[in-house]
Structure 1
Amino acid sequence: MSLPVSGELLAGRYELAGTLGFGGMSEVRRGWDTVLRRAVAVKVFRPEADDDTARRFHNEARTLARLSHPGLVAVHDAGVSDGTVFVVLRLVEGGTLRDRIADGPLPVAEVRELGARLADALAYVHEQGVVHRDVKPSNILLDADGTPHLADFGLAHLADTTRFTRTNQMVGTAAYLAPEQVRGDAFGPAADIYSFGLVLLECLTGRREYPGGDVESAVARLHRPPAVPEDLPADLVRLLSLMTSLSARRRPSAPDCAHVLRTGETVARAAGSAPRPRRHVKAVAASAAALVGAFGLAWVLTPDQAPATSAPVETTSRTAVQSTTPPPNVPVAATVTTEVVVEQPAAGPQEKPVPPGHAKGEKGKGPAKPGKGKP
């Protein structure tokens, strides 16, 4: 199994050029469709990838094939050519939202416009019964006009189905996981809203809200809410606080988010407003209490890839890291080892990590209680 050499065509149709992005088991190449005479992005699957990665790769193609929205990266073709599995995607010329944030915080007006467009795309995705599960800046592509496109549906699942990548494995990116994913609870579209809220907050502050190692980053959100700047417009403070609520039922739906971002109207109480799947995903075998209490976690790391200009590549290099020391102020309730698939975010502008259980500028205080201090 090998990619075509210079002058050869993939599937007798696609000329491959330079690499746009790459990961552990796949890469995105600039391509030319010789039949339709148009530039495309071709995501090719490396032969040494494992079965889980192959399933995610095919899952992305199948998921995108059933979705059609201007805020998504469209799939044009998929198949196998001489043993090489590939997906042909719309080519989005530009960088990622992660690249844009690296240049500094975005103006409020720009965040409103970008956020409303992304909320529209998420609303459509959720209406189709799909949960993305990996909303983050590197999975949001910006075209030449700055229009955002949600990409990389390799971890997506249908809301009415149960899907595991492997027994007792949960997928996502540690810095953007929703609390219910960290606790091992059932989750649905509201998990995307939480991740989306952290993305918008990062756009406004220029820094990741929960930095640090994977375990530290994931658990921190259970002990303190995100620090939403008080000098933001009141509607944004309210919206971001609700989007990142510990309670999934308090989070607004994607259409509600789009409405507030466009109009500036304060979002109404959002309990139960987010679309709920007919059957939730049961994330891990361990109970929430055991997961948070013992926190003996085997994190399977998938390091963040280099920015790509189309369809960021899912990375799959795996290194098991065992953590058996509970974070500060977390009682040990049981001994549990839970394997979680996460992505180690790339380094970026970050503040000094705040130890779990301590709010900024506070000393000697115990962990925040869930539901306290939230709108």
Structure 2
Amino acid sequence: MMVDDRAGRPATSSGSEGHVLSTPTLLGDRYQLGEVIGSGGMADVYLAKDQLLGREVAVKVLRDPEPDPTDRARFMSEARTLAGLNHPHLVTLLDAGTSADRPFLVMELVRGTNLGEATRRGGPVPPQRMAEVGAQVAEALAYVHEAGVVHRDVKPGNVLLREDRRVLLADFGIARLVNDTAHHTRVGTTIGSPAYFSPEQVQGLTVTPASDVYSLGLVLLEALTGERAYGGTPTEAAMARLNRNPEIPSTLPAGWVTLLQAMTDPEPTRRPDAQHVLERLRALAGGDDAAATQLANATQVAGATQMMTSVPPAAARPEPTTSVPRAEEPAQKRKRPYWAIAVGIVLVAAVIVALVLLGDRGATVPDVPDDVPSQLRDPLQDLHDSVEEAGQ
């Protein structure tokens, strides 16, 4: 979907990009495929020629000649999602079809690069330019959220930077309607990019528009600093945010610090919505750091993210009237690191199960730790009580 003209090669560098088909393939009797210019988990994107209109386009094709039903369903879900969206900061879907039983999407060809490549090549992005870029992404997110869609994979590689400085949000392959009950994910798999997951995505909780706001916060922070907030393996990156908040340098302008703290708040309902993020980024892009800070504080006082109707309300908690240093929050919210809680849960469960199997009536059943998450406490407590009764 994107070609980097400055480098004379595809804008991304994974998968089978750069490969030229030995025998050019015509899809739908119309689209002549050329080289691969992008690759994802299940599909390749080709530079192609629309034979009917004589223009270059990007064609996304499922890689597997006999696609898995789950992949096919997810692919077609992307087509339907894009078909219902029309915004200047979204990649435009032009056509869709099936050829030799393989579905394909035809999208506008974007010439330029993506935010990830731009940062790798040029280093940190200046705050004012990053505010311009971020505002356009936030505008796209505000639009899709209003349409009832959650992107779920906001990352630098999906932020496309056109040569005319227009920014586009791409790849709705795992997007989901807020009230959609259909799940196009294989059991036991995780979709998305762990480095940019929200805490609720890591925990397998409901993903909402606030999740996209969190991911965008990490994207903005990475572009401003040139470093990922959560590095390491995918698992390490995903779990790290359950132990600590991202480190936001105090050397950034005050408006940026306040905004990024709000966007990456661990509590989804305390994050600003995409529209508020857009307003604050526009203020920063205009060089008005004080106005951006005032907007940030006003948003915090006004309340939480404007959530979709399907999102359950969170427990009431007092709203701060001033920005509180985020470094203090992990210690206040967690007495023990997440991994320690997890180990405690496993050990308690293991001992309880062992007592059940061995029938040791004289043994003492360990108590369930106080800081076990609420959704796990009740089942463990029931098991604990049952074993105690059996041993009496």
Q: Quote the offset at 1:273 in angstroms.
A: 4.0
Q: 2:255 is matched by which residue type in structure 1?
A: D
Cα separation, 2, equivalents of 1:259 and 1:136: 21
* Match in the other structure for 1:333: 345
* Match in the other structure for 1:76: 94
Cα separation, 1, equivalents of 2:166 and 2:249: 25
Cα pair 2:195 2:231 within 8 Å, conserved: yes
Cα pair 1:4 1:10 within 8 Å, conserved: no
Q: 2:116 is matched by which residue type in structure 1?
A: R
Deviations 1:42-90, CA, capped at 9 Å, x for gaps: 0111214322222221111111110001111111100112223110001
The answer to whether residue 213 in structure 2 is matched with residue 201 in structure 1 is: no
Q: 2:265 is matched by which residue type in structure 1?
A: S
2:243 aligns with one of 217, 220, 223:
223
Cα separation, 1, equivalents of 2:182 and 2:307: 16
* Match in the other structure for 1:62: 80
SS in 2 for 1:119: helix
Deviations 1:220-261, CA, capped at 9 Å, x for gaps: 111111111101111110000000000111100111111111
Deviations 1:266-318, CA, capped at 9 Å, x for gaps: 2124475433222249xxxxxxxxxx9xx9xxxxxxxxxxxxxxxxxxxxxxx
Cα pair 2:276 2:299 within 8 Å, conserved: no
Cα separation, 2, equivalents of 1:186 and 1:86: 30
Q: 1:33 is matched by which residue type in structure 2?
A: D
- Structure possessing the higher radius of gyration over alpha carbons: 2
Cα separation, 2, equivalents of 1:334 and 1:92: 49
The structure richer in helix per residue is 2
Q: Quote the offset at 1:184 in angstroms.
A: 2.3
SS in 2 for 1:160: coil
Cα separation, 2, equivalents of 1:93 and 1:134: 21
Contiguous gaps of at least 5 residues in structure 1: 282-291, 296-325, 337-375
Cα pair 2:197 2:215 within 8 Å, conserved: yes
Q: Quote the offset at 1:36 in angstroms.
A: 2.0
Cα separation, 2, equivalents of 1:92 and 1:82: 27
* Match in the other structure for 1:354: none
Q: Quote the offset at 1:143 in angstroms.
A: 1.2
Alignment of 1:140-155 (within 5 A): 140-155=159-174
Cα pair 2:66 2:102 within 8 Å, conserved: no
Q: Quote the offset at 1:213 in angstroms.
A: 1.4
Q: 1:44 is matched by which residue type in structure 2?
A: V
Q: Aligned residues: percent identity? A: 46
Contiguous gaps of at least 5 residues in structure 2: 1-19, 284-288, 313-333, 350-392
Q: Quote the offset at 1:21 in angstroms.
A: 1.2
* Match in the other structure for 2:177: 158
Greater CA drift, 94-103 or 105-114? 94-103
SS in 2 for 1:180: helix
The answer to whether residue 196 in structure 2 is matched with residue 184 in structure 1 is: no
The answer to whether residue 311 in structure 2 is matched with residue 274 in structure 1 is: no
Q: 1:277 is matched by which residue type in structure 2?
A: M
Cα separation, 1, equivalents of 2:341 and 2:26: 59
Alignment of 1:165-180 (within 5 A): 165-167=185-187, 169-180=189-200
Q: Quote the offset at 1:31 in angstroms.
A: 0.9
Cα pair 1:116 1:261 within 8 Å, conserved: yes
* Match in the other structure for 1:117: 136
Q: Quote the offset at 1:175 in angstroms.
A: 0.8
* Match in the other structure for 1:321: none
The answer to whether residue 115 in structure 2 is matched with residue 97 in structure 1 is: yes
Cα separation, 1, equivalents of 2:182 and 2:189: 10
Cα pair 2:42 2:71 within 8 Å, conserved: yes
* Match in the other structure for 2:126: 107
Q: 1:25 is matched by which residue type in structure 2?
A: M
Q: 1:57 is matched by which residue type in structure 2?
A: F
TM score, norm. by length of structure 2: 0.70
* Match in the other structure for 1:23: 40
* Match in the other structure for 2:104: 86
Cα pair 1:25 1:48 within 8 Å, conserved: no
The answer to whether residue 144 in structure 2 is matched with residue 132 in structure 1 is: no
* CA RMSD between the two structures: 2.6
Cα separation, 2, equivalents of 1:151 and 1:245: 25
Cα pair 2:43 2:60 within 8 Å, conserved: yes
Cα separation, 2, equivalents of 1:280 and 1:120: 22
User: Are the structure 2 counterparts of residues 228 and 163 from structure 1 closer, same or farther at C-alpha, using a change threshold of 3 Å?
Assistant: farther
TM score, norm. by length of structure 1: 0.73
* Match in the other structure for 1:13: 30
Cα separation, 2, equivalents of 1:80 and 1:195: 33
- Structure with larger RCO (C-alpha < 8 A, sep 6+): 1
Count of matched residue pairs? 293
Cα pair 2:24 2:34 within 8 Å, conserved: no
Q: 2:345 is matched by which residue type in structure 1?
A: A
Greater CA drift, 164-173 or 84-93? 164-173
Cα separation, 1, equivalents of 2:139 and 2:25: 40
